[in-house]
Structure 1
Amino acid sequence: MSGRAGGKAKPLKAPKKKAVDLDEEDLAYKARLKEEQTKLKEMQQKAAGKGPLVGGGIKKSGKK
């Protein structure tokens, strides 16, 4: 056997991604998504700082 006949085949290169032209509508949509992500992260941080919303859990009566 000569060369790489028995070896591992070399993977093919992926084609390069082409630059996509974005219009104003696409840019506005991406900006809105980014704002929503930042707001969501802020709300998660606020919620994580507080304790449980409902305190006490299951209440049992003293009677048996």
Structure 2
Amino acid sequence: MSGLEGGKKKPLKQPKKQAKKMDKEDEAFKQEQKEEQKKPKELKANAAGKGPLATGGIKKSGKE
């Protein structure tokens, strides 16, 4: 028995995808999406520096 028959076969190489040509509208849209993704991170960073938003909840008096 020859060693060429056993084992896994290698998958065929796929052709490389060609880069799509992007016009100005596509570039502007992608830039806008990146900025939208940054906003929540910035808001979280700003909120972390401040104290708790609501403390205590319902306040009860000492009387029963």
Does TM, scored on the shorter chain, surpass 0.5? yes
For residues 24 and 45 of structure 2, what CA distance do their matches in structure 1 show? 32
Alignment of 1:1-64 (within 5 A): 1-57=1-57, 62=62, 63=64
* Superposition TM-score, scaled by structure 1 size: 0.69
Unaligned ranges ≥5, structure 1: none
C-alpha separation in 2, matches of 1:57 and 1:37: 33
CA distance in 1, matches of 2:31, 2:56: 42
Matched residues, percent identical? 63
Query: Counterparts of 2:58 and 2:13 in 1: how far apart (Å)?
Result: 60
Matched residues in 2 for 1:8 and 1:60: separation? 72
Task: Give unmatched runs, 5+ long, in structure 2.
Answer: none
Output the amino acid matched with 1:17. Answer: K
Deviation at 1:15, TM superposition (A): 2.6
